[in-house]
Amino acid sequence: MAERRLRLGMLGYGTVGSGAYRMLEDNQASIQAKTGTRIEVARIGVKDAQKPRDLSPEIFTTDLDSIVNDPEIDTIVELIGGTDPAGRLVELALNNGKNVVTANKELMAKHGSRLVHLAKSKRLDLHYEAAVGGGIPLIQPLKHQLAGNDVLKMMGILNGTTNFILTAMQQDGADFAEVLPDAQAKGYAEADPTNDVDGFDTMYKISVLASIAFGRQVAIEEVHREGIRSISKVDMKYADVLGYVIKLLGICEPVGDRVRVRVHPTFLPKTHPLASVNGVYNGLWLHGDFVGDVMFSGRGAGSDPTASAVVGDLIDVARNMAIDGPGSALPYDPDMPTESITTLRSRYYIRIRTLDRPLVLGKIATAMGQRGVSIAAMEMKTIVPHEEGEIVFLTDYATESDFREAVASLTAEVGVSKVHATIRVED
């Protein structure tokens, strides 16, 4: 029997591209044994022709269109990142009849619905397992093994940089500004950390997961997003005393026929399975109506783990090509109706600076109670005897809009000089 071949055009040879190439080389024999197909990298597209590389220069080109237009290449793996030129090249590849594997969360979060429909209409594969959770299989289980469930809640630690920073703050009793340079020196945070620490990366990832779980694309503009810059070591300490850790979570949950998707720092009980996902590790916890609680965790980024997901997708492509299958892109429609965060019912942590006077506590409790927010737990600390104190509350369940009104009412009139922090609590 003639040997089957999959001729691959690779766009990008950076952290993930070089890892995927190495894995295809190192594990070639076993991959061929499992698929009956020899996966060959025919061409690799890069930006900088002068950069020293560990492969012979003939395989590289800076003319990425020539790869995507090459009739000898049947599958494209896009590992450039961003939407331009990656989006145009992916679309061109699909229009040229090529299967596509990508690790690009931003592209899928912004244009996923359109691209999967295009792939489906052409009977092609479009896989993107590496786009969320690096080496952890999340997308395929959501698309297939868990698809019979109604997902009642999904929460993920989806960004290794922020999890590394928060874990270091917790373990070393350090502030964000002290930990960030160390994360940068270790290569866990970019020189410009905005994408990670302000929650954009998690927003892309949770919107991709929500789109799959709920079957329609969640527009990123509909995702409530907060980052971790304002978290302090003081809040970390109170969290610990109260039995919680602070994690940046991507959360989605159905609300009637809508879905609410949000990204923010969260007080998470120490007993929650996600609470022990530390450092650069990622985790996803979900509750399905039939399966119950499910937890995934592992290495969410890095050359080797991400290569593992990319190569897994390529193996799916090879198997599908071998049976001359109809393509395995799973389409989902655009425009998932979404629910605002203002209707969320949650518990909250709040840390305030008070004028240390008698009656202040009663006034604060009354002001909050009048807005429908009652206090469930409290810690107090005197900062300057008889002058200033710090009070920390955990509230009972309240709506976000009531809580915001209650916070706005905490002024000098009721003896509050500053609201330092408010953080949502997941129990």
**Site residues, ligand NAP (CB under 6 A):** 12-17, 45-48, 51, 64, 79-81, 85, 103-105, 130, 134, 301-302, 306
Given the complex with ligand NAP, which of 18 and 338 has the nearer CB atom? 18
Active site annotation includes 205: yes
Please report how close the Cβ of residue 152 comes to ligand NAP at its closest, in angstroms: 27
Q: Which residue has the tokens 């996966």?
A: 39
Please report how close the Cβ of residue 289 comes to ligand NAP at its closest, in angstroms: 30
Given the complex with ligand NAP, which of 40 and 65 has the nearer CB atom? 65
Please report how close the Cβ of residue 266 comes to ligand NAP at its closest, in angstroms: 23
Residues pairing with 41 in the sheet: 8
Residue whose C-beta lies closest to ligand NAP: 14
Please report how close the Cβ of residue 91 comes to ligand NAP at its closest, in angstroms: 15
Please report how close the Cβ of residue 16 comes to ligand NAP at its closest, in angstroms: 4
Q: In 10 A of CB 58, how many CB atoms? A: 7
Write the CB contacts of 207 (distance below 8 Å, at least 6 apart in sequence): 109, 217, 218, 219, 220, 223, 261
Given the complex with ligand NAP, which of 162 and 395 has the nearer CB atom? 162
Given the complex with ligand NAP, which of 48 and 413 has the nearer CB atom? 48
Q: In 10 A of CB 306, how many CB atoms? A: 26
- Report the SS3 class of residue 116: helix
Please report how close the Cβ of residue 189 comes to ligand NAP at its closest, in angstroms: 12
Residue 299 is which amino acid?
A: R
Measure the CA–CA gap between 344 and 347, rounded to whole angstroms. Answer: 10
The pairs formed by 114-122 with CB atoms below 8 angstroms and a separation of 24 or more are: 114/334, 115/90, 115/91, 116/329, 116/330, 116/331, 116/332, 117/331, 118/91, 118/94, 119/94, 119/327, 119/329, 119/331, 120/327, 120/329, 120/330, 120/331, 122/94, 122/95, 122/97, 122/327
Query: What are the tokens at 312?
Result: 């897994």
Nearest to 140 by CA among 87, 213, 74, 86: 213
* Active-site choice (143, 205, 237, 247): 205
Given the complex with ligand NAP, which of 311 and 407 has the nearer CB atom? 311
Query: What are the tokens at 343?
Result: 């209707």
Given the complex with ligand NAP, which of 39 and 103 has the nearer CB atom? 103
Query: What are the tokens at 405?
Result: 């009104």
Start-to-end C-alpha separation, the chain: 59
Q: Which residues are catalytic?
A: 205
